[in-house]
Amino acid sequence: MNTDTITAGLLVIGDEILSGRTKDKNIGTIAEHLTAIGIALREVRVVADVEDAIVEAVNALRHRYTYVFTTGGIGPTHDDITADAIAKAFGAGIDVDPRAVAIMKPAYEKRGIELNAARLRMARIPQGADLVVNEMSVAPGFRIGNVIVMAGVPAIMESMLHSATAKLQTGAKVRSASIVVSHAEGEIAELFAAHQAEWPSVAMGSYPSFKDGQYATDLVLRCVDEQSLVDAHRTLAAKLTVAGFKFLQT
Amino acid sequence: MNTDTITAGLLVIGDEILSGRTKDKNIGTIAEHLTAIGIALREVRVVADVEDAIVEAVNALRHRYTYVFTTGGIGPTHDDITADAIAKAFGAGIDVDPRAVAIMKPAYEKRGIELNAARLRMARIPQGADLVVNEMSVAPGFRIGNVIVMAGVPAIMESMLHSATAKLQTGAKVRSASIVVSHAEGEIAELFAAHQAEWPSVAMGSYPSFKDGQYATDLVLRCVDEQSLVDAHRTLAAKLTVAGFKFLQT
């Protein structure tokens, strides 16, 4: 079993998320993907399309986590300032990159899209960065140091995330198991806390819901060690049964 | 016109968001609400249910913005550590608060819910805090200094957000207007950048989409001054028309 802990921070860049006009979907997608491949997402930040805010956040996160992923702000319009801000954060130069042009030019010709000055902005890549392939709209993302810079449009972000994944170091996968009981959190809290105390290596959380007049609580167990997870899950189910709690799902 | 800028940070607390298991809905709701009442959301952070992470983030945000809103981690189970972490961040004591018990006891009796030790955890409120009323599940949130602490369950969070709003100082409302054109971003970028340069007081952003084989770009203008917004919107529409761009929506 791989027991290394590989960590990540995520930086979502965009005025439209902070104004509430666009509802972010990338946080959930990236969180799920990183969990699945064995990278622990430890922190997310959302900042505006403001250079100082981007520079400060990316510098805070890149020194703290194995990887930093960013989304948003790499399109062709004047408000797309992420690439320049990332270059500034690294003290790196930035210019139109021939490798990006070499990818974009033939693909745009084929699609009948003009590679004008605005679109060439999308070929601006910080010095020392590697390109991250985008199979949707072609203009690439990039990786510089431990920072992976991706688009904000969900389908394009996903294409870049999958391209970048092959070169990521991954660690211990956190497995999870859950039991849903038809009781409010306040009823199972004592039993659940005692179970957590018995299994310190298994992280336990409870998530309440209330639907159709029915309380339910989802008890979630998370652990990198499969056997501990199975044992902690089985013994929790047994304790709940003995105490007379009813299950909705196990 | 109110021209004060009132700012906010938002701290989302919860392992389940970082694992991807739960998809956050509160960021969008809070962002939209704050924009509507004239508070500028400047930054969002998501951290795990880890005391040090919560303390560090809340202290960073509360010194930087007029208000900080937090969601998550104030339920009755062992993984709900937000109230204690907030007390620690403020160097305040924390204990079961008679004001909270006075609200919870009769409501729970009426609903046939036992006010057991676990549920009394939800009455733990930092010293010096005011309660934030929760009309859904009764157990209150609280406000200490400029920090408003709310539940993570969206319906309960919304009830608390609306309770807390009456006592918030609000400032200039950012108005917005948009034009959707049936063209890719790269085609309108030059015209749009020139228009932004003419109207520095109006923040302009563009948001691309691609549906049913059709490119579209949503050009969004945001400004606290209604007249500037109207004029910038009208003149942008005129320029786009002259240049032969097609509108999907204006």
Hey, where are the domains in chain B?
7-165, 175-249
Report yes or no: A52 at the B interface, CB cutoff 8 Å.
Answer: no
Query: In the 3-class helix/strand/coil scheme, how is B136-199 assigned residue by residue?
Result: CCEEEEEEECCEEEECCCHHHHHHHHHHHHCCCCCCCCCEEEEEEECCCHHHHHHHHHHHHHHC
- Between A208-217, A219-228, B82-91, B229-238, the lowest mean confidence (pLDDT) is in A208-217
Mean predicted confidence (pLDDT) in B153-164: 97
Identify the residue among A46, A58, A204 best suited for mutation to test binding to B, counting B beta carbons within 10 A and taking the highest.
Answer: A46
* Residue B127 distance to chain A (closest CA, Å): 24
Strand partners for A175: A223
* Residue A227 distance to chain B (closest CA, Å): 20
Residue-wise pLDDT tens digits, A45-57: 999 999 999 999 9
Q: Do domains A7-165 and A175-249 have the same CATH topology?
A: no
SS3 state at A248: strand
CB burial of A79-105 (b: ≥16 within 10 Å; e: otherwise) equals bbbbbbbbbbbbeeebeebeebbebbe
Residue-wise pLDDT tens digits, B77-128: 999 999 999 999 999 999 999 999 999 999 999 999 999 999 999 999 999 9
Percent of chain B with pLDDT over 90: 94
Residue-wise pLDDT tens digits, B168-217: 999 999 999 999 999 999 999 999 999 999 999 999 999 998 878 888 99
B9 closest CA partner among B39, B53, B33? B39
Percent of chain A with pLDDT over 90: 94
Residue-wise pLDDT tens digits, A56-67: 999 999 999 999
Residue-wise pLDDT tens digits, B14-51: 999 999 999 999 999 999 999 999 999 999 999 999 99
User: Which residue in chain B is spatially nearest to A203 when comparing CA positions?
Assistant: B79
User: A-contacting residues of B 115-154, CB under 8 Å?
Assistant: 116-119, 121-122, 137, 153
Separation of alpha carbons B105 and B67, rounded Å? 30
CB < 8 Å to B16, chain A:
205, 207, 220
Q: Do A190 and B117 touch (CB under 8 A)?
A: yes
CATH superfamily of A175-249: ACT domain (3.30.70.260)
A13 closest CA partner among A65, A53, A61, A63? A53
SS3 state at B23: coil
For residue A1, the model assigns a pLDDT of: 56
CB < 8 Å to A32, chain B:
19-21
Strand partners for A98: none
Mean predicted confidence (pLDDT) in B148-165: 97
Separation of alpha carbons B118 and B107, rounded Å? 16
Mean predicted confidence (pLDDT) in A140-169: 97
Which residues are within 8 A (CB) of B216 and not within 5 positions of it... i.e. 6 or more apart?
B180, B181, B182, B183, B208, B209, B210, B248
Given a contact cutoff of 8 angstroms between Cβ atoms, the answer to whether B140 and B131 are in contact is yes
* Residue A42 distance to chain B (closest CA, Å): 7
Pick the CATH number of A7-165 from 3.40.50.720, 3.40.980.10, 3.10.180.10, 3.40.190.100: 3.40.980.10
Q: Do A28 and B23 touch (CB under 8 A)?
A: yes
Q: Do A206 and B79 touch (CB under 8 A)?
A: yes
SS3 state at B102: helix
Going by pLDDT thresholds of 50, 70 and 90, the confidence category of residue A216 is very high
Check residues A212 and B30 and name the one with the higher pLDDT: B30
User: B-contacting residues of A 204-233, CB under 8 Å?
Assistant: 204-210, 220, 222
Q: Do B18 and A24 touch (CB under 8 A)?
A: no
* Residue A91 distance to chain B (closest CA, Å): 24
For residue A175, the model assigns a pLDDT of: 95
Q: What is the mean pLDDT of chain A?
A: 96
A21 has pLDDT over 90: yes
Strand partners for A96: A124
